Amino acid sequence: MRSIVPRRHRAGDPRPTRTGGGSPALGRPKPSVAPNPATIRATVLPSAHATRGPLVELHPVTDPKPDPNAVAPSVRDLETIVGLSKRRGFVFPSSEIYGGINAVWDYGPLGVELKNNVKRAWWRAMVQERDDIVGLDSGILMHPQIWVTSGHVAEFNDPMVECATCKRRFRVDEFAGAEDLGPKELLDPGIVARLGLACPNDGGPLNAPRRFNLMLKTFLGPVEDEAAVVYLRPETAQGIYVNYRNVRDTARKKVPFGIAQVGKAFRNEISPGNFVFRMREFEQMEMQYFVRPETAADYFDAWMPRRKAWYEAYGVSPERLRFREHRPDELAHYAKKAVDVEYRFPFGWKELEGIHNRGDWDLGRHSKESGENLEYFDPATEEHFIPWIVETSAGADRAAFTFLIDAYREEEVRGEKRVVLGLHPDLAPYKVAVLPLLKKRPEIVAMCHRIKSDLKRQTMAVYDDTAAIGKLYRRQDEIGTPWCVTVDVDSLEDGNVTVRDRDAMTQERISADQVTRYITDKLDAARPRGL
Ligand code: GAP
């Protein structure tokens, strides 16, 4: 367990005081990271936002051999987060009373709020606050030909080996010594002998690698035969491509424009794990940006820093984020270029989001295979062309997991450990908890409920009276509630209540009538803009 020295002196809990504590800072102060000039290049970027001018951005170029230990994770032990998630109702193992099902997780009362808030924050930045991107919600089940055309039936696979005795399968790239190999080397029949690989389960011999398709299948209609096979979508992106023309025409969009979608995706992962990091059922937040072919590289460069900035604006420490460019031999079948936004998880640097230049692969293939004309006519130049696509593809579960890990901290307050989730207020499951100082006084409880009911019309608020005030504050700290409102005996006389800030632990006395306004103003002030 890591112990963190408080960043600044905090007012002590537990009893609310009448004196104001100034205006507490929201969220955590972010450590500033000085860019290393050796790893920075400048790019002049076109504006992808209709209302913004050209951008000049600096972004790091991939370090091919980064030292994985150079940046410490926010939490050393993943079990800390898994334990907190289960104990406080963020995430539960799916089907637990039947022994569970591998790589599927359920979100509890707090987890569903956190994940919904993550998806809302993404939608606000990608759709609501922009003029050039519109939304879509397409079906999970689609015409099976889509997955043939997209290349997923032939190409969406992982090289794997099978144990001759226990029959378990393992991804080749997860064995020590194989992490950096390209697909060709991973499928080399001699790799098992060359790296001396044996079954991690029972030490048995492994067969030569072969491809294992990751798509999950089911049957549509009453007959379970080959003709009825459909796939559970492994990415939401294809639903966007096959709706491209409908959206373009109905929303009257001109290139460049984007279509965004949030929804479930399914992959029969061979080596799922690390809690919700790699699951078989998960959610994606994808945006496809349609551009003129010659501008794709510039738009790609413009989206990279924007997407990293989104995680930073919602509280992820910049030093635990980086870009990693895919080598040509590891590019997905559709990608001309791919850069991952990576996060320093407790189990290493791993992909958080992929940014891909998909060229004309998708619209070109769907146009050809469907026989429908998906070309764009540019009235300004009188040209017809297949738009190229720049994709930003994030995982909602992975993002929520990252915000949870990065927000976790332990502090010592008056000799006692305090666990705090320093979640950005927009992401916190509850924004405010209303607490009575004396639960035996019905007038105090009634006043709490009046305040809570008013708050609930605007935001997520909760009432709790099941412990002493100090313990109630700690409980809210541990689930990331940014503000607590406490009603005491004086409140009955003067109509004022105490608002306590999670991070600064300062206390401010305000009129009970002003609580909802106070909280909604704070939320509005904290919300990032123009991402
Ligand atoms: N349309 C492109 C695409 O799907 P990807 O890199 O395969 O690209 C994009 O996936 C994002 O989806 C990843 O960066 C990750 O956040 C999330 N993701 C992918 N597989 C996942 C899994 N098995 N469990 C949880 N999230 C996953």
* Best probe residue, ligand 1, of 398, 402, 403 (max atoms within 8 Å of C-beta): 398
- Rounded to an integer, what distance in angstroms lies between the CA atom of residue 116 and that of residue 330? 32
**Cis peptide bond N-terminal to 256, omega within 30:** yes
Length of the chain: 531
pLDDT, tens digit only, all 531 positions of the chain: 222 222 233 345 544 433 222 222 222 333 333 333 223 232 323 333 333 322 223 333 344 455 556 899 999 999 999 999 999 999 999 999 999 999 999 999 999 999 999 999 999 999 999 999 999 999 999 999 999 999 999 988 889 999 999 988 888 988 999 988 888 889 999 999 999 999 999 999 999 999 889 999 999 999 999 999 999 999 999 999 999 999 999 999 999 999 999 999 999 998 788 999 999 999 999 999 999 999 999 999 999 999 999 999 999 999 999 999 999 988 988 999 999 999 999 999 999 999 999 999 999 999 999 999 999 999 999 999 999 999 999 999 999 999 999 999 999 998 999 999 999 999 999 999 999 999 999 999 999 999 999 999 999 999 999 999 999 999 999 999 999 999 999 999 999 999 999 999 999 999 999 999 999 999 999 999 988
* Best probe residue, ligand 1, of 212, 321, 393, 397 (max atoms within 8 Å of C-beta): 393
232, 269 Cβ separation under 8 angstroms: no
What residues flank ligand 1, with Cβ below 6 Å? Answer: 235, 237, 267, 269, 278-279, 282, 284, 286, 351-354, 391, 393-395, 397-398
CA 365 / ligand 1 centre spacing (Å): 22
Contacts of 502 (CB under 8 A, 6+ apart): 420, 422, 476, 477, 480, 481, 482, 483, 484
- The tens digit of pLDDT for each residue in 283-319 reads 999 999 999 999 999 999 999 999 999 999 999 999 9
Contacts of 442 (CB under 8 A, 6+ apart): none
* pTM of structure: 0.86
- Rounded to an integer, what distance in angstroms lies between the CA atom of residue 214 and that of residue 181? 20
pLDDT number for residue 24: 26
- Rounded to an integer, what distance in angstroms lies between the CA atom of residue 499 and that of residue 434? 9
Closest residue CA from atom 20 of ligand 1: 278
Phi then psi for residue 36, to 5 deg, are -85, 115
308, 341 Cβ separation under 8 angstroms: yes
Q: What torsion, rounded to 10 degrees, do the Cα atoms 499, 118, 316, 357 define?
A: -160
**Which ligand 1 atom lies nearest to the CA of residue 399?**
16
| DSSP structure string for 238-268 | HHHHHTHHHHHHHTT--SSEEEEEEEEEE--
**Which ligand 1 atom lies nearest to the CA of residue 235?**
4
* Best probe residue, ligand 1, of 242, 282, 334 (max atoms within 8 Å of C-beta): 282
Judged on CB neighbours under 10 Å (0-12, 13-18, 19+), 498 is buried
Give me the amino acid identity at 509: R
pLDDT number for residue 3: 29
Closest residue CA from atom 22 of ligand 1: 278
pLDDT number for residue 66: 54
pLDDT number for residue 226: 92
- Rounded to an integer, what distance in angstroms lies between the CA atom of residue 37 and that of residue 25? 31
Token pair listed for 119: 């998806």
pLDDT number for residue 67: 59
